Amino acid sequence: MIKNMIIGQSGGPTAVINSSLAGTVEYALQSETIGKVYGMLNGIEGLLDNNIINLTEMFKSMPHELNRLKHSPAMFLGSCRFKLKGEEEEFKRIFRVFDSYNIGYFIYIGGNDSMDTVKRLSDYAKEHGIDISIVGVPKTIDNDLVGIDHSPGFGSAAKYIATCVREVAYDTSIYSIKSVHIIEAMGRDAGWITAASVLARQDNMTAPHLVYLPEVPFSVEKFVEDVRKKLSELNSVIVVVSEGIRDKDGNYISARQDKGDDLFGHARLSGTAAYLKDVIEREIGCKVRALEPSVLQRSAGHLVSLCDVNEAFNLGSVAARAAEEGNTGVFSTLRRTSNKPYCVEYGLEDVAVVANREKFVPREWINEEGNDVTEEMVTYLKPLIRGVAQTPYRAGMPDYIDIRHLDVKMQKYKN
Amino acid sequence: MIKNMIIGQSGGPTAVINSSLAGTVEYALQSETIGKVYGMLNGIEGLLDNNIINLTEMFKSMPHELNRLKHSPAMFLGSCRFKLKGEEEEFKRIFRVFDSYNIGYFIYIGGNDSMDTVKRLSDYAKEHGIDISIVGVPKTIDNDLVGIDHSPGFGSAAKYIATCVREVAYDTSIYSIKSVHIIEAMGRDAGWITAASVLARQDNMTAPHLVYLPEVPFSVEKFVEDVRKKLSELNSVIVVVSEGIRDKDGNYISARQDKGDDLFGHARLSGTAAYLKDVIEREIGCKVRALEPSVLQRSAGHLVSLCDVNEAFNLGSVAARAAEEGNTGVFSTLRRTSNKPYCVEYGLEDVAVVANREKFVPREWINEEGNDVTEEMVTYLKPLIRGVAQTPYRAGMPDYIDIRHLDVKMQKYKN
């Protein structure tokens, strides 16, 4: 009997997680083994609430929308922050829904936590002799997943942060006064995105001039000294710091905040860059700006890496094929086989490898002083931001897909 | 005798001010009346320091670089914040340099202050019978120049902020928890950029949900009430505020800061959005994020409006032609002749019209409640962000022109 597929998305958004969804759907729609393709809204939570849509019907009637999906950021199906409690009743509820939709293939696109869900559900299915293939598709802007050369989503975040640095460098280069810009990149524990800011360098543009990753203990005193030294050589100094830098005792620099209460009796908290801005203003006294691109760096569909979009799409297809072939408890992955030219090979890996672990920047890819990265890092990063994607535009604006709008359209067709 | 042209740039950067420079240079290089084309580095300051480069030599040997110039943000020639003191000795020094380079045409690309410089220098030249045509090219992201339908630079800033809002809306739409995002747009006195954020709206995407311009006195109490009301209808509320919103007594909201000192005995200051974030956290208690794109919105060459790029280019050419034809004390301008289809007509206007004045958003283009804009505003804004420009890319990154790099290249050619 032909079994159906269900797909879910989970965790934080990236600019290319929908490309993985498009890759999975496109493969599944063409498969003769896989029946209908369903989507669970808001991950496992939506599954448990029977919040399920028919993706076959949606994309067979609007096939061009699959291409828009490929180029739209964030999460078409919505997300959740669901963690399995591991109770028998919970497993039973989940597999009851799978059974009611005749699901033989479950693809879960997400990060660490989602891979843990894949592992536990596939273990349960094996133990109870349930015939279902459960396969993960990795994603995260942080690039901290193990078992894969680099995470889909990272290349686009890398390109965004490097472009920010380059444009800030152009913006500030027009004046001949001394200034410092401190840009805060995402990545609480792993400094990959911060490191990628060095891709802004080109010809005589040397920004960023200082780069601080969470992998190296941060000293505020050393930082001030570094900035002072750079200011003696340059008019405009551009610094990139990870949101997660910590002192030698492991305390977040961003937590070293103004202990005084605000007007309303609340302690003020602000970001790492904002804190360091105060420090430089006090210690050096030049013009300082703190910039925190925040969520803009993870959902900038208009500035994605084409390499990233395509790899995310392929990882979706590879997962669908793996499920179709009966694999379970695995995730689709890629291995870099060559740097010149850049080539990758797709494959599968046991989810146990990735679940609940983190990949940090190796210390030898950070310079000795701890304020820059090495050439090995640059070689690793360079191919990942390549290529300009064909972002769909309408009326001058990126024209992303929106499930709420498609839903309305679908209802119209049904009448 | 054939006279030469000199061009300068001044004020804050925009994403298309170099397109105006490219338009001026391209026109002048093809003119049989205009001799050499020079550029003053860092505006009038550079002129007084004899910091002048030969643009004819530069771009005749590298003609393709003119196209890169057209698509590069910030200011190729560098800027200054120079204000004429009005002393006779100062005028004499400036015209002595003009004379030594045999300048018959001076094009100054800038905002309010630069147009004032154009006015005073051309008045002085007329009074003293000096044969020189001095013509301004307008620019500013703020759209607060009078005598022109809209300022070059504004369309790109408008597109940037609207894209930010749309991408934040996608980012946050994936969760089903209550949240508020407060995005701070540039424009201290005029709310044009803030208003342009409404171009993010599309189909079922209704963000931004609240928009506050400096033209209407801001009430923190009303703001909290507005947010509370929107939160009762929506999960995710996206607010855009101008950095320059003020209370009914004219005090900047951003100045209402934490009066407590920080760890080091310094008063903390932060932006308008950051302040309002604290207010919402205290009064409503949901998840709140403050986002301040800051300088990213004025130098985002990778996300310019093609309409803006082309108009800036044409305004540069029109100014060069006006100077060639002997006009002085004028600036190039454009008038909208039709909205459907969008058409403009180029012309000239006396600089006295624009110098030292500001154009605010008309009250009737803001809704009665003061938390949104009207349809007239949307009709005005829509065409200005149209079109996707061919940003040059290399190795996956925007490949902007850099005078320091070209300088090095030029020196190589000279050896």
Looking at CA atoms only, how far is residue B254 from chain A in angstroms?
13
Q: Residues of chain B with pLDDT > 90: what percent?
A: 87
Confirm whether B407 is a catalytic residue.
no
* pLDDT attached to residue B264: 39
| Residue of B289, B299, B397 with shortest CB distance to A295 | B289
3-state secondary structure of A123: helix
At A267 the pLDDT is 39
pLDDT for the residue numbered A203: 85
pLDDT digit string, tens, across residues B83-107: 889 899 999 999 999 999 999 999 9
Q: What is the mean pLDDT of chain A?
A: 93
The interaxial angle of helices A88-100 and A112-127, nearest 10 deg, is 80
pLDDT at A265: 39
Query: Whole-model pTM?
Result: 0.95
Residue with tokens 């490929």: A70
Tens digit of each residue's pLDDT (9 = 90 or more) over B41-85: 999 999 999 999 999 999 998 989 999 999 999 999 999 878 889
Which one of A294, A396, A405 has the shortest CB-CB distance to B203? A405
Q: Which residue is it, tokens 């803001």?
A: B366
Band of pLDDT at residue B203, cut at 50, 70 and 90: confident
pLDDT on residue A405: 79
Chain B positions in Cβ-Cβ contact with residue A162 (cut-off 8 Å): 397
**Phi, psi values for residue A27, rounded to 5°:** -65, -50
Q: Does A273 touch chain B (CB under 8 A)?
A: no
Name residues 363-402 of chain B within 8 A of A (Cβ).
382, 385-388, 393-400, 402
Amino acid A270: pLDDT:
59
ipTM of the complex: 0.94
Q: What is the DSSP letter of B167?
A: H
CB atoms near residue B87 (< 10 Å) = 9
pLDDT at B199 over 50: yes
Q: Residue A341 belongs to what H/E stretch?
A: none
Contact B300, A167 (CB under 8 A): yes
List pLDDT tens digits, range B205-250: 899 999 999 999 999 999 999 999 999 999 999 999 999 999 999 9
Q: How confident is the model at residue B13 (pLDDT cuts 50, 70, 90)?
A: very high
Supply the DSSP symbol for A373: B
Alpha-carbon distance B357 to B343, whole Å?
26
Pull the structure tokens for residue B13: 């950067």
- Give the span between the Cα atoms of A130 and A107, in whole angstroms: 16
Judged by a CB distance cut-off of 8 A, whether residue B256 touches chain A is: yes
Q: Which of A170, A240, A311 to mutate to test the interface with B (most CBs of B within 10 A)?
A: A170
Low-confidence stretches of chain A (pLDDT beneath 50): 258-269, 415
Q: Do A263 and B261 touch (CB under 8 A)?
A: no
The partner residue sitting opposite B171, judged by closest CB among A172, A289, A298, is A298
Q: How confident is the model at residue B361 (pLDDT cuts 50, 70, 90)?
A: very high
Element (DSSP H or E) covering residue B8: strand B3-9
Residue type, A92: K
Q: How confident is the prediction for chain B on average, in pLDDT?
A: 93
